[in-house]
């Protein structure tokens, strides 16, 4: 009788219900897990790309701002006259300590066509002390350097030094109403150093740690390869941090300048919390359905089985 009981309708229905529940919850769980995981990964990537894009935009705006400043000073009749007849009063009235602070520059140079500096000063407006121009930059702004190339009337961009990245802008010195026949009287160069104070401000605006890298070790060679085909991309560094990468124009240097943003993986952690909650929620529902199935078995299937047995017994007695 027991064998017939387990091979009858009741056993078959229990097997069908159990298998159906297992398949249903397995499919639903893994489908929901993939959708949630991919969704949070996309959100994290988008946030990181926005951060690195914002940092790149803000830095390029610094170049544009410095270009606008240097254009006013380089294409000014007083500057043009000074290069022909140097007058200390021009420097005293136009390139004061306050000028460096207002323009947010740490070096200003006026160099004649022969490469001789009529005026050259490095000044740290934050500390009020002289600012030493980095050696590598000194070479670039000296005679024969990339910023004194007579074939170019202006040049600006990022310049990496061991002391930090600088924004350098150089422009031919011409009168206000210059034309193509006007003779240039040298080059005006201004240097804006992206120091610790500026980088901290940039970090706060972007919402992530911003760093510059000129050379990457062999373990990160794939980053440079990816940037050759993509302007910017994001990549998790580990379980706790995610990074965004973008290329910047590194003037006069063969190595590429890589802009990197580093941020905590808050979105990823939220995704993991959601997936954990989904797992618990799915388990609870599975237990509830298992309990309902057990009650259904005890209250319905078992009674039907007994009624079936009683019916068969009654038929057998009547025969």
pLDDT tens sequence across 260-312: 999 988 877 776 677 777 677 777 776 777 677 666 666 665 666 666 666 66
What residues contact residue 99 under an 8 Å CB cut-off, 6+ apart? 108
- To the nearest 10°, the Cα dihedral for 44, 49, 55, 61? -150
Statement: residue 192 has pLDDT above 50: yes
Statement: residue 252 has pLDDT above 50: yes
Statement: residue 314 has pLDDT above 70: no
Residue 237 structure tokens: 């560094």
- Of all helices (H) and strands (E), which one includes residue 108? strand 107-111
What does pTM read for this prediction?
0.75
- Region 155-184: mean pLDDT is 88
Q: What is the pLDDT of residue 218?
A: 60
Under CATH, which number does the domain 61-194 receive? 3.30.450.20
The rounded distance, in Å, linking the Cα atoms of 275 and 269 is 10
Which DSSP category does 176 fall into? T
Which DSSP category does 103 fall into? H
The rounded distance, in Å, linking the Cα atoms of 146 and 126 is 28
Which residue matches tokens 């002390």?
129
- 162 confidence band (pLDDT: 50, 70, 90): confident
Q: What is the pLDDT of residue 213?
A: 85
What sign for the dihedral angle of Cα 73, 79, 80, 83? negative
What sign for the dihedral angle of Cα 115, 119, 125, 129? positive
Q: Answer left, alpha or beta for residue 161, where phi above 0 means left and psi between -120 and 50 means alpha.
A: beta
- Region 246-251: mean pLDDT is 87
Residue 281 structure tokens: 């929620």
- 69 confidence band (pLDDT: 50, 70, 90): very high
**Total residue count of the chain as it appears in this document:** 319
Statement: residue 161 has pLDDT above 70: yes
- 41 confidence band (pLDDT: 50, 70, 90): confident
User: Which is nearest to 151 in space by CA: 136, 166, 137, 170?
Assistant: 170
- 93 confidence band (pLDDT: 50, 70, 90): very high
The rounded distance, in Å, linking the Cα atoms of 47 and 239 is 17
The rounded distance, in Å, linking the Cα atoms of 137 and 159 is 8
Q: Is 123 exposed, middle or buried (0-12, 13-18, 19+ CB in 10 A)?
A: buried
The rounded distance, in Å, linking the Cα atoms of 131 and 111 is 19
Sheet holding 241-248, edge to edge: 209-213, 257-264, 241-248, 232-236
For 157-168, the DSSP string reads EEE--TT--EEE
Residue 235 structure tokens: 């990549």
The rounded distance, in Å, linking the Cα atoms of 69 and 47 is 33
Q: What is the pLDDT of residue 261?
A: 94
């Amino acid at each position: 009788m027991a064998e017939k009981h387990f091979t009858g309708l009741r056993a078959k229905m229990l097997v069908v219900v159990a298998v159906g529940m297992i398949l249903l919850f397995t499919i639903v769980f893994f489908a929901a897990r993939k959708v949630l995981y991919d969704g949070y990964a996309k959100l994290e990537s988008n946030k990181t790309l926005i951060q690195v894009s914002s940092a790149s935009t803000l830095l390029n705006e610094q170049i544009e701002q410095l270009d606008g400043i240097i254009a006013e000073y380089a294409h000014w009749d007083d500057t043009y006259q000074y290069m022909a007849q140097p007058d200390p009063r021009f420097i005293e009235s136009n390139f004061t300590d306050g000028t460096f602070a207002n323009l947010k520059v740490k070096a200003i140079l006026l160099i004649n066509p022969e490469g001789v500096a009529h005026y050259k000063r490095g000044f740290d407006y934050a500390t009020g002390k002289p600012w030493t121009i980095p050696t590598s930059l000194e070479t670039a702004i000296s005679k024969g350097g990339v910023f004194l190339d007579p074939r170019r009337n202006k040049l600006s961009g990022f310049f990496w030094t061991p002391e930090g990245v600088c924004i350098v802008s150089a422009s031919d010195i011409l009168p206000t109403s210059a034309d193509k026949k006007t003779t240039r009287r040298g080059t005006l160069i201004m240097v804006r150093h992206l120091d610790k104070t500026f980088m901290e401000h940039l970090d706060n605006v972007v919402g992530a740690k911003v760093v510059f890298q000129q050379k990457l070790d062999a373990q990160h060679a794939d980053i440079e390869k990816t940037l050759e085909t993509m302007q910017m991309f994001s990549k998790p560094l580990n379980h706790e941090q995610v990074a965004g990468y973008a290329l910047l124009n590194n003037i006069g240097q063969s190595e590429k300048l890589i802009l990197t943003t580093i941020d905590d993986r808050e979105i990823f952690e939220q995704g993991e919390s959601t997936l954990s909650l989904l797992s618990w929620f799915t388990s609870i529902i599975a237990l509830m359905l298992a309990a309902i199935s057990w009650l259904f078995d005890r209250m319905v299937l078992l009674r039907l089985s007994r009624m079936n047995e009683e019916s068969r017994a009654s038929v057998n007695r009547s025969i």
